[in-house]
A and B are shown apart, each in its own frame.
Chain A
Amino acid sequence: MEEVTATVVIEGAGVGPEVAEATTAEKKGFKVVVAVDDSEISHYALSWAIDYVLANRREDCQLVVLHVQHFVETFMYPVAGHAVYAPTLSIDAVRKAHEENSKRVISRAVDICKSKHVDALTAVAEGDPKDAICEAAEKLHADLLVVGSRGLGMIKRAFLGSVSDYLAHHAKCPVLIVKPPKGSHK
């Protein structure tokens, strides 16, 4: 249905020329990929992962913060009926808005990492979140994929969010699903 072209762009947020290594060489050690988006829960998941998974073995763990950008539609359907190609200006505007959003999400995630003294690589993929995260995790040779899940709607514990549900079934590597802390009503 929708095109899933997950293009993964890796940028080093920490010190060092580790850019190429992230995708090509299988770095020795434990690679943890945390998927983040705008939501509070995904940033909580990042904190949780740093505190409980990376914990006291930062040396041989590699953290990758992954953000999936919404796919920019190149055409739209005006009320009249048939699809037309969107004017370039509006595509650019939308794309720019998405990129701003991504930058914000990534920088917030990087701030969390920095405050906990963790060097993280960042990666941005485009496309449908479910597939893009799966694909990116494979490309990055993730040892563990971490996602937050607040559940669908207000019924927090009875249901799993659709992205984490999908990943639990389709990701090739182990998946860690972080729930909101007890007593919070997010």
Chain B
Amino acid sequence: KGDSTPVHILVIVFLILTLSKKCNYKPTGGVTILPPIKPDNGPQAFPDAEKENMPVFTMNYSRIQIPFEITLWVLLASFAKIGFHVYKKITVWVPESCLLITIGLIVGGIMHSVHEEPPAVLRSNVFFLYMLPPIVLDSAYFMPTRPFFENIGTVLWFAVVGTLWNSIGIGMSLYAICQIEAFGVQDINLQENLLFATIISAVDPVAVLSVFEDVSVNEQLYIVVFGECLFNDAVTVVLYNMFNFVAEMPVVEPVDVFLGVARFFVVGFGGMGFGILFGFTAAFTTRFTSRVREIEPLFIFMYSYLAYLVAELFSISSIMAIVTCALTMKYYVEENVSQRSCTTIRHVVKMLGSIAETLIFFFLGVVTITTDHEWNWGYILFTLLFAFVWRGLGVLVLTQIINPFRTIPFNFKDQFGLAYGGLRGAISFALVFTLPDSIGRKQLFVTATIAVILFTVFLQGISIRPLIEFINVRRTNRNLDTINVEIHCRIMDHTIAGIEDLCGQWSHFYWKDKFMKFNNQILRKILIRDNRAESSIVALYKKLELQNAMEILDDVSGDIKNVSFSFHFLAPDLKNMHDILSKNMYKIRQRTVAYTTKHALPNESQSKEILIRRHASIRRSLRPGSFQSSVVPKSHKYFSLPAGKSLDSKFPPGMTSYAGELRFSFPC
């Protein structure tokens, strides 16, 4: 059925890769080479030169080797990705990260058996400079900003204090374990233990997001885990450097601890500062790009990458820099650039992030097999245990402290999700490889890190979905026997979503209000080209209407939506009705899933339809004499106006407002 085709392609591509390594020799014998070109200073004599014929076919592998191999690896990983989605059922239960690691393990196994070295992707700068930025940019660009800022206190609390708690807790416990003679790890001192603990306590955004995307957790939980992943980088960097430095020093003084704290602030706020700086510069630049629309998307990428690199230059938290840059930039840039550039930016950000993530997991699997391992049952098992236990304890304690300050406190289900969703991933992996070789037990640390990563990604990743569903079981069973229940339940869901949006933001209202004033008066004037103070709904509506109009123009056959029925509905068959309703009823606004589906762009067609419908109904009701007509257009009926005043109610200037309802009578 064509299912085996991706597998065939995989095998072929993979064979090319292994064989290409073998081709890395200077061709001799049967292949002609081009004669070396010498500068022509005069008649050169080749005393031994034979007369060579014009080479018809040559091969120069070494010249293209690096880009070629990169392309092939990327293709291999992408084919793996295609292959997974052939079997829908697999991706439902097993997150993609696990599948990619598995394929990586297989490929690594094959490479190991032919004694090949995989490319040094995760060992060196390549990971931190080329593979990590696209992923972080992708996460930051599509982050839902409003819930993020509402929860920023909690996020920072978990990121900073949580990571500290985990690192120190795990480090101390492991040191205690090291004292036990039976495990044979007595040579690891406290600093090294703490260093290792820092590495494995870093929750990884890549792993977490790829698992959470299918699990519909509530928005608060999602945003806290997400934010925590992104922001614990600051703490990890500081602790890592501090313990690294300290591990080589014989004595630790209180001054060093104080300096460590100072360094944390420098790292954290420095990262944010650079991010904001570059974000505003990007926004300012796009103000002037109205004549060079083709290169507009470039600025987003260049500025955010620049922020990342400059932060790396000063050894401050580059992840925070790029996250803050993306957050700041997005709002202003999307107003300045053209519609097409906006779409392009989103697409490319998603694409780069997707590819980088795929490659990372893939190489995680490959490198697992091909590194030298040192296994120590006691140390590794206790590492796993402590990682789990300390995270759980940490979440419990920290939630207790911060719950009184939260509008929506975390209940136990949320805390479970928070604790269980702390997956470790590639960042820990890369960090452990950059450990200095002066640490005697580096191989043990590498093995332990890999064990923790694989354990969390596989076990927790696969089991989190059924566990969350199990916990969320409602008290009453879903009784979908009647159409009534289906319709009315959807109505109620929409109502609740609407009321929640209406109640809107809660905390930090004062600061948000101040910021919005500052924003409107100063920032927007500087950073946005065409600054009209319009309300957000009008702006949003205009943007969507414009997009819709462009799509209709592009669409050759015009409004084809009405033509695409696949079945003609005759008898009121109950099952048919359920099918129709479940496929066609609008979904509740999912604030998290829409933004976080790793493998799709946010889908705006539902909003478009609703907005256009409202606009049409308002427009139609404003037409003179429309209240008299009882003929409604056959294809679409837009009835969204409630009862109220009649048409002669007042119309406030400048804003479309309610008019009366269109009353009509059906022949019963």
Same assembly: no
